[in-house]
Structure formats: C-alpha cells, structure tokens
Amino acid sequence: MQLLFSGAFLCQSWHLDSSTLPESTAPINTYHHLQEARITWHSLIASLHHWGSREREREREREREREREMEQVAMAVKVLLSLCCVGACGLVVYLYNILWLVPQRVLAEFRMQGIGGPPPSFPYGNIADMREAIAAAKAARASARRAAAGGGGVGIVHDYRPAVLPYYEKWRKEHGPIFTYSMGNVVFLHVSRPDVVRDINLCVSLDLGKSSYLKATHEPLFGGGILKSNGEAWLHQRKIIAPEFFLDKVKGMVDLMADSAQPLLKLWEERVDRNGGITDIKIDDDIRAYSADVISRTCFGSSYIKGKEIFMKIRELQQAVSKPNVLAEMTGLRFFPSTRNKQAWELHKEVRKLILEIVKESGEDRNLLSAILHSASCSRVGIAEAENFIVDNCKSIYFAGYESTAVTAAWCLMLLGLHPEWQDRVRAEVHEVCRGRPVDSQSLQKMKNLTMVIQETLRLYPAGAFVSRQALQNLRLGGVHIPKGVNIYIPVSTMHLDPKLWGADVKEFNPERFSDVKPQLHSYLPFGAGARTCLGQGFAMAELKILISLIISKFVLKLSPHYEHSPILKLTVEPELGVDLTLTKVQCLC
C-alpha cells in the first residue's frame, strides 16, 4: 500500500515539475517522465504481486500447520480413547474376575466335596433371594399379628429363625446342614453339623480368624479393636484386656453393679406407687441405662458420667451401621459420601472426641481404661496409632458389654413374666440366699435357679446370631477343605434348637435342662467358642444375676397386654418393639 502512495506522489511531482519547463523541451521530458513512471508503476505492480504471493504462501503454511496440529490432536484423542477402551475392558475383566470367576472357583471346590448351595446371580450373589425371603417373612409376621387375639404373650414361639433368618431355614432344608451361598463376591460356608462345629470351636490357630465380612460397614463402630482384628494384632489386644475380666476382678465389681441398679429400682417403685400399685413399663431403655452405668463405672471410674454420654452416641452409631453396605463390602469403597455414611462418620468423630477427652482427664483410677492406656504408652507406636488403639477398644468393650447384656436382660425378664412358676422359684431362692442382706459375690454363686434361667434365656435368645470365622489360610476342619478367604458362619440359634442335642422340648422354656448337665462345646454358643470365646462372659453373668435378682425380689412381673413378640437382627437379636411388662410390688415373704 505504501508503494501505491509513493507512485501517486511521483506522478503528482512529475506533473508539477513539467509545467515549469521551457515550452520547447516539454514534449521530450514528458515522454521520458512517462517512461520512468511506467517503469516505476510496473515495478510497483511486480512488488505487490510478489508480496501477495509471499502472503498466500505464508497463509498456506499456516493452514498446513493447523492441519498438522489437528491431526496431532485427533491422533491424541484416538490414543486416549484407545487407552480408555483398553482400561475399561481391563476393568470389566478385573471386576468380572473378582466378582464372579473367583467366587465361582471357590464354590466349585466345595461342589467337588459334595457341598452345594443356592445358585448365585451376577453380581450380587444370593442377596436378592435373601431380601425376597425377608419380605415374605415380614408379611407373614404382620398377618400373624393381626390374627392374634391381643398381646400378653399369646402365640409366642421361642424360635426366631423363620422371622429373622428365613433364607437359612429354606436353604438348610434344601441343601442340608452344610451349604454355601454368596453375598456379592464374598463366599460363605454355613455350618450347623455338630462334628464340623466342634472342630471349628477347638481350632486355636491364628489362621482361623474373625470374619472380615461387614468389616467395612462396621468400621466406624469397631475400627481395628479386638472384636474385628485378627492374627498378632488380636492376640496382643486380648492379652491386655483379658486380665481385667478375670474372676477376682469381677468379684470386686459386684458392689458397683448393685449400686448402678438402685436408680432403676427407685424409678420403677415410684411409677408403681404413682399408678395405684400396678403399672405397665417398657423396660428396654431403663435396662440399657443400667448396663451403660455399669460399663461406664468399670471402664472409666470417676469419668462414668461422660462415659454414659458415649453410650448414647454408640447406640446411634449402631443403628447407622446395622444394615450392610453392599458397595463397600464388594469393592472396599467405604468412603462414598452417602447420607448413612456421613452420619456414621460424624458419630464416630464425636465418640472419638469424647473418649480422648476422658483419656486426658483420667487420673490415678485403676480401671479398664487405665490398662488400655498403659499398654498404649508401652507400645512403640505413633500418637495417632496409640489413639486409634484406645478408641477402637473402648468402643468394642462398650458394644460387647453394653448392648448384648441389656438385650439378654430384656429377654430374660420377658420369659420370667411369661413363666410365673419360674419367677416364684427365683424369688424364693434370692430371699433364701440373701436374707435381707445386700447381694455379694458369694450369694451370686448360690443362685442356681437364677443361673439356669439366664442360661436358658441365652439358649433361646442368644444376643449374637452367629459365630463368624474366616479362613485366613487354606484349612481342613471336620473333614471339609475350606479355601482361604471363605467366611464360616455357625448359626447359634440352629445349634441351640437342635432336638438331637437338646431333646424333643427344644423350643420350650425349660431351665431344668441345665440343672445337672453341662452342654457340649459345640451345642451351646451364647458367648462364642474356642480361642475367641467372649472375654467378658463372667462379667456379663454377674451383671445379669445382680439386676434380675434385685428386680425379682422387689417386683412381680407379668407380660403386658401391649407386648408384641418381635425379634429382629440389628447386630444383636433384640425385641424390635421392646418388652412391655406389668409390674406390682412383691408382698413380704417373711
């Protein structure tokens, strides 16, 4: 463009200059100037053409560059898509392998031994069958309640299996006492054959550990505490905690347990007096308050009030994790932020904070917490690991000592209300043994009828529905080869209701069966069996004896017309609708 302007300027300059020349030379000069202007103009045109050619070449080069870049991007996209396809295919193959092929290989090993089971469906195994059976059982239970002519114990059958575990009943009838089933990619071996159960109970190898199923779901509640740990970690924790539940320690806690029962007795007496000498009470929350008080005092000593606050949080946490998290169990992804997970995480944080506050406040009290603290301080671990050790084991002891004992006490009082003849026998025994004196460890040992009643309660309504184990290595138990990773479930209620082991009246409440016969190892499992037998069974029996003896000595119990029999599995087998009793005061036995 500058060249065009320059050419115009030259032409203008020439025009002005030629007008000033002499007239005689003007034509000649004009011709020369025209020639020069023409040459200059052609040069300009040529320059412009050359410049335009170069610009077009540059544009073509830029276009080719863009095409090369687009080709590179397209190639990168193709490579990325190919990698994604390969990764997706690999993931599908991996998931298909772990969710289907691996469990199928394990099931095939059992089939080769003549052990079958219900056929699983991909990818959830037999979960759909279990849900269908539970739904049918609920409908049947609701129909039975509508047909029942009132409450008060009408139509009670002491066999909760058809209502709580209907799928096991169906499969046992179809496949026998040993069968397999699966939940997702987890294979289970259901065992209720006595000889195999005996071998499992006698096995002390660390290769037979606690079942890892539901560990991801229950992690906020139990963590790595003694109830869920395995191997050397479990052995270490057991050595620390076991001495705190030895008989001599339990004897020293009897007065404390009796003191904890006084608020409950006073509350019930006030209610009976206020209602004209007779009242209906739903006992569950009061029993839990007693159990919480006992464990809080024994665990935390002077900090027991804050310990009771922890119990309330743990009760909420138990409700939050009571249903299996199938996604977490199948994939290990327990950090998915579902509503239930977020609730469990928040409760876990609150419980952890409360426990660690008690740790900071603990003084010279000698209690279970001090033993756990001493062990943590002696272990060469970091602060975070030591805190986890303390918190997880405190939560485990809370749950084991609080929930199961409270539920067993509720079932026991229900049975005594249903069987007044045994209630009278226990009351007379307590009066004869104590003779107006406070309950102590020696008097507890003399209460034979009460002991039999509690044992029969634990037979009919064991708090734990299963004894669960896992083969951490390949094992052979009772002649059955059990591959590594298989979860072994022994249904406690099935063993407790086997007529071959207990007689024809197996579904009846008959404490006399414990009068002079000690149950066989494989037939009576309320506290588990083998190396992992419950450490606190002596503590639990003392707590139950004290509470029930004090209640029976003061009140006459009868099942309320409002009572509805409603066993349900929520980590423990508990009465879903609670236990309603009608209470009156005992007349003087003098």
Longest dimension (CA), the chain: 167
Residue closest to 405 by CA, chosen among 269, 257, 560, 506: 257
**Residue 379, both tokens:** 């272990």
Question: How many CA atoms does the CB half-sphere of 558 hold within 13 Å?
Answer: 13
- What is the separation, in whole angstroms, between the first and last Cα of the chain? 130
Residue 394 is assigned to a ligand binding site:
no
Question: How many CA atoms does the CB half-sphere of 443 hold within 13 Å?
Answer: 19
Assess whether the previous peptide bond of 491 is cis (omega < 30° from 0): no
Inter-residue contact 403 to 463 (CB < 8 Å): yes
H helix or E strand, kind and range, residue 158:
none
Q: Tell me how far apart the alpha carbons of residues 579 and 535 are, in angstroms, rounded to a whole number.
A: 28
**Residue 577, both tokens:** 């609708």
CB count within 10 Å of CB 299 equals 25
CA distances for 42 relative to 3, 36, 48, 497, angstroms: 11, 10, 10, 117
Q: Tell me how far apart the alpha carbons of residues 525 and 466 are, in angstroms, rounded to a whole number.
A: 9
CA distances for 133 relative to 144, 147, 163, 254, 323, angstroms: 16, 21, 9, 45, 16
3-class SS of residue 578: coil
For strand 475-477 and strand 480-482, is the pairing parallel, antiparallel, or unpaired? Answer: antiparallel
CA distances for 477 relative to 92, 268, 490, 531, angstroms: 36, 51, 13, 15
3-class SS of residue 48: helix
Residue closest to 403 by CA, chosen among 300, 322, 288: 288
Residue whose pair of structure tokens reads 């004896």 in the numeric block: 545
3-class SS of residue 325: coil
3-class SS of residue 564: coil
Burial 107-145, CB ≥16 within 10 A → b, else e: bebbeeeebbbbebeebbbbbebbeebbeebeeebeeee
Calculate Rg over the CA atoms of the chain: 41
CA distances for 150 relative to 145, 248, 407, angstroms: 8, 47, 24
Residue closest to 257 by CA, chosen among 313, 202, 295: 295
Question: Which segments are annotated as binding site?
Answer: 534
Question: Which segments are annotated as binding site for heme?
Answer: 534
